[in-house]
Each structure stands twice: as C-alpha cells, then as structure tokens.
Amino acid sequence: MKKIILLFSISLSVVFSSCYRDLNITDTSRDPQQRPDFENKREISCQCLFDLYPVENLSDREREALYFMREEEKLAMDVYQYLYDKWKHHVFENISNSERQHMSLILCLIDKYGLEDPSEDLAQGEFRDKNLTEFYDLLISEGTKSLINAFIVGATIEDVDIFDLMHYQANGIDNWDVNAVFQELNKGSRNHMRAFTKNLKNLGAGYESQYISSGLLEEIIESERETGDIICSDT
C-alpha cells in the first residue's frame, strides 16, 4: 500500500484568475434541506451489513484495511472540522459529517467481526498511526494559510482516499461486505473531490492529482455527482 507519508508535499500548482483578489472567499451559507440524517442512514446501513451479507473469514489484509481506513476517514473528518472552524465554509462542515458517516460504516464492520476499534477514545487530531498524525499536522498547517489552500488540502485528502481504497480493493479484499463499504466510501470520496475542485474553480484555481492518475481525476471532475446506496442495494 502506498503510505501517506513523510515525503508528502502539498502541490500548490494552482492557476489564479485575474479577479481572484476581488472574490469574497468566506461562505457561511447553509441549506438544511440538503443535509442528510446521518444517524438514521448509519443505522440503516449498519443493519444492512449485518442482515444482507454473510460473515466471512477476514484475511490479514482485510483487517489491515479496516484498521487503516477507519483512521484515514477520521483524519479526513478531523481536518475538515478544523478547517470549518477556521474558514466557516459550509463545504467543510458538510463533508466532515459525511466522513463521520464513513467512519461509522467501517465501525459497523469492526463490530461485526469482533475487532478492536483503533480510533476509540482518541481526540481530534489523534491517531494510532503516527504517519497519520504527521500528515494531519501538515494538512492543518497548509489549510490555514488561505481558503484556496484549504480546498487543495480537501482535494488532496480525497485523492489519497480514492487511491488507498482502489489499492486495497485490487489487492486482497474479497469479502462482500468489506467491498460494499469500500465502494460506498469511494463513491463518497469522488463526490467530495467534485465539491472541492468546483470550489477551487470558483476561486480561479485548480488541483493536480498527486496519487490517482490525472485521467481518473479528470473523469471524476467531468462526471455528475453520484447518488444511491451501494450497501443496501441487492447483493
């Protein structure tokens, strides 16, 4: 797996429009009608994971994947909450809530298979994996410099997320329930990437992929937002 990483460096290869300095970059708007009931959705999805999917033997690779992705989703949630507190832009609050849902889906599998939760009792910005702690600190440092940097941080997190999920699914993840959750998380990450790159475009800036291919990034950005529930669909 491609670890994230001590060598990571935020790419600030953005293109500024001539009118950038005239833009109002703080957006505190909300649309309550667009905010899903995360707790209700979590309960439904978790029940589907127990009812619709068999209990299968977990390989060491699958255990590693669940542990790591539980913490990686926590990293995303924690960074976005921090950046929302800093910039008061609704996209960070909304996506932080979505990452909380992603964490909950992985926790459902951890509970289903009787595993230990690596994120239990950890505060914001705390992780068992020390590489993630260093990554969190770097992301926060970059994301507080400007709103554009904050959106680049968001796109970078989703870039890493998509890469890691795809890597795990292509290398030893074959349990139906784990695959369903990872597909759901990947769909969410693609939607989050669309949101961050759209906000960057609105500010006259852009994002260049650092983990997934540039072709895949372009395909994601140019396609419509994805909907539907993968976990509770017919298996």
Topology annotation, domain 38-222: Ferritin (1.20.1260)
pLDDT for 41: 76
Q: How confident is the model at residue 49 (pLDDT cuts 50, 70, 90)?
A: very high
pLDDT for 43: 83
Each residue of 76-99: pLDDT tens digit?
Answer: 999 999 999 999 999 999 999 999
Each residue of 128-139: pLDDT tens digit?
Answer: 999 999 999 999
Instruction: Compute the residue count for the chain.
Output: 235
Each residue of 191-224: pLDDT tens digit?
Answer: 999 999 999 999 999 999 999 999 999 999 999 9
Rounded to whole angstroms, how far apart are CA atoms 121 and 107? 13
- DSSP assignment of 22-47 equals GS--------GGGS--HHHHHHHHHH
Structure tokens at 98: 């979505």
HSE (CB half, 13 Å, CA atoms) of 188?
26
Q: How confident is the model at residue 158 (pLDDT cuts 50, 70, 90)?
A: very high
Rounded to whole angstroms, how far apart are CA atoms 147 and 142? 10
pLDDT for 176: 96
Q: How confident is the model at residue 234 (pLDDT cuts 50, 70, 90)?
A: low
- DSSP assignment of 48-71 equals HHHHSS---PPPHHHHHHHHHHHH
HSE (CB half, 13 Å, CA atoms) of 67?
14
Q: What average pLDDT does this structure show over 23-47?
A: 58
Rounded to whole angstroms, how far apart are CA atoms 132 and 72? 7
Q: Tell me what percent of the chain is helix, strand and coil, each rounded to the nearest 5.
A: 60, 0, 40
Q: What average pLDDT does this structure show over 120-148?
A: 96
Q: Average model confidence (pLDDT) for the chain?
A: 87
**If DSSP codes are grouped into helix, strand and coil, which group holds residue 156?**
helix
Q: In this prediction, what percent of the chain has a pLDDT beyond 90?
A: 78
